[in-house]
Amino acid sequence: MAGGQYFNPEKVECIRKNIASYDWAKALSKEAVDKADTLIGYGKHYWWTLPTPNELPRCLPPGHINSGCPFCGDENFLKFGSRGWIPHIVGNKWKMECKNCGGIFPSNDFKSYYESGLDELGIFRSSKADPSYLVNTLYPEKGPDYMVDDGRGYVDETNNRWSFVAFYNHYGLWANWDDDGIDGGIILSGAKKMSEAYVYTGKTIYALYCLLLLYKVALLYPDLDLNVWMRLPGRPYRNTDGFSLQGKATGRICEAILARNLCMAADAVMPVLRTHKEEAESFFSEFASVDAEQIEETIVDGLLRQVFIGVQNGSIGGNEGMYQSALAIAAVCMGECEESKKWIEWLFQDGEVIAKNDPIRVRTERKTGGN
Ligand SMILES: [Zn+2]
């Protein structure tokens, strides 16, 4: 039985007692609940259509050769380092704004392009998307193609690829580990804040929103493979992969943080699939005709099991301890069973990394144990 293992009934009761008894716990709870209230205010369609498939790359920083901003150049980078951009995530606008000069990129209405390409499951397919949105509308004096991004970026006259859509996809949507707020990395931070608000208050609505997000992530997560983008000649999409060319939604170092947080959130909210089965099914019904068991199985298969696959093939990595904690919480969330025992045994068994050159993937990895 998956979920409710780390956040088991005794722990949840203890957490809620602390909130009732201590000001520090009240303050923590209030902060999470205030943020979660903002997030569920974005509405169900927002969360359902938020996670992106592999056909849209992810990257940081936006320029693969030049740092900084297309307008103010290195001033952005020198003042703010890697934190010089504001993702317009309210309304999922697919824009990045320079904190130094206020320049906004990409120049085309990618939001409309994205929405025109959503299939019946709310998943973006470029083959469906309307190309009439691939025109510069922000800076008409610079010509129709300037800083137009179809997801893969814009190559300027110096041969630098500016990838603001991929940058937004990473920092705005999937993960921004710099920030424990809700201003970016909204898939990670949304799952975290909404699941915390559920644990702290017991209000089902937070869990239902979080489940909707996790279910959608789980539909896409098995196919997320950043190697497809990072291995291209000249490495046009830079990520936190430690030059391994491996990752899933994000480079493999960041991925360990993302995977761990998604599994923690899953553990917190999955019990609702059993305690409020009909409510959950009704909540999902406008998007997917699935029963509670199918939702649970999708999250187990599309998220928890992928963590074990990812740590073995190096797409979930990071410094020592990072991928281990991601797999450990996936195993705990899974509950006691043969499969989770195997994962825990793998974590403690001696192993090595076997790296090979590969004609397509450039490089592959196989990790044989977690110790
Ligand atoms: Zn700028």
Average pLDDT of the residues in 139-155: 97
Q: What is the pLDDT of residue 276?
A: 98
Neighbours of ion ligand 1 (CB under 5 A): 69, 71-72, 76, 98, 100-101, 103
> Over 70: is that where the pLDDT of 170 sits?
yes
Centre of ligand 1 from the C-alpha of residue 233, in Å: 27
What b/e readout covers 76-95, taking b as 16+ CB neighbours within 10 angstroms? Answer: bbeeeeeebbbbebeebbbb
Q: For 202, phi and psi rounded to 5 degrees?
A: 75, 10
- Kindly indicate the confidence band of residue 250, based on its pLDDT and cuts at 50, 70 and 90: very high
Tokens of 272: 């609702």
Centre of ligand 1 from the C-alpha of residue 153, in Å: 17
Centre of ligand 1 from the C-alpha of residue 165, in Å: 16
Tokens of 129: 């998307």
> Over 80: is that where the pLDDT of 66 sits?
no
pTM of the model: 0.97
CA angle 155, 158, 162 (to 5 degrees): 35
Centre of ligand 1 from the C-alpha of residue 217, in Å: 32
Q: Which is nearest to 164 in space by CA: 176, 178, 150, 175?
A: 150
Centre of ligand 1 from the C-alpha of residue 138, in Å: 15
Centre of ligand 1 from the C-alpha of residue 99, in Å: 7
Give CA–CA dist 41/290, Å, rounded: 24
Start-to-end CA distance of the chain, whole Å, equals 27
Least confident of 1-5, 130-134, 179-183, 231-235: 179-183
Give CA–CA dist 21/23, Å, rounded: 7
Percent of the chain scored above 70 by pLDDT?
99
pLDDT digits 0-9 by tens, 86-100: 999 999 999 999 999
Q: Say which residue, 83 or 123, is predicted with more confidence.
A: 123
Give the residues across from 364 on adjacent strands: 356
Centre of ligand 1 from the C-alpha of residue 85, in Å: 9
Centre of ligand 1 from the C-alpha of residue 113, in Å: 24
Q: For 182, phi and psi rounded to 5 degrees?
A: -130, 25
Q: What is the pLDDT of residue 220?
A: 98
Computed on alpha carbons and rounded to an integer, the radius of gyration of the chain in Å comes to 21
Centre of ligand 1 from the C-alpha of residue 229, in Å: 26
Centre of ligand 1 from the C-alpha of residue 182, in Å: 23
Give CA–CA dist 221/199, Å, rounded: 25
Q: Which is nearest to 58 in space by CA: 203, 204, 241?
A: 241
> Other C-beta atoms within 10 Å of 245: how many?
25
Centre of ligand 1 from the C-alpha of residue 80, in Å: 11
Q: For 310, phi and psi rounded to 5 degrees?
A: -65, -40
Contact 286, 212 (CB under 8 A): no
Task: Measure Cα distances from 318 to 29, 288, 311 in Å.
Answer: 30, 35, 10
Per-position DSSP letters for 272-303, written without gaps between them? HHHHTHHHHHHHHTTT----HHHHHHHHIIII
Contact 262, 188 (CB under 8 A): yes
Q: What is the pLDDT of residue 82?
A: 80
Q: What is the pLDDT of residue 253?
A: 96
Least confident of 63-72, 101-110, 135-144, 185-194: 63-72
Task: Measure Cα distances from 250 to 87, 179, 217, 259, 275 in Å.
Answer: 16, 16, 13, 10, 34
Q: What is the mean pLDDT of the chain?
A: 96
> Over 70: is that where the pLDDT of 179 sits?
no
- Kindly indicate the confidence band of residue 177, based on its pLDDT and cuts at 50, 70 and 90: confident
pLDDT digits 0-9 by tens, 309-338: 999 999 999 999 999 999 999 999 999 999
Centre of ligand 1 from the C-alpha of residue 146, in Å: 16
Q: For 93, how many CA atoms within 13 A lie in the half-sphere containing its CB?
A: 15
pLDDT digits 0-9 by tens, 26-59: 999 999 999 999 999 999 999 999 999 999 999 9
Average pLDDT of the residues in 231-249: 94
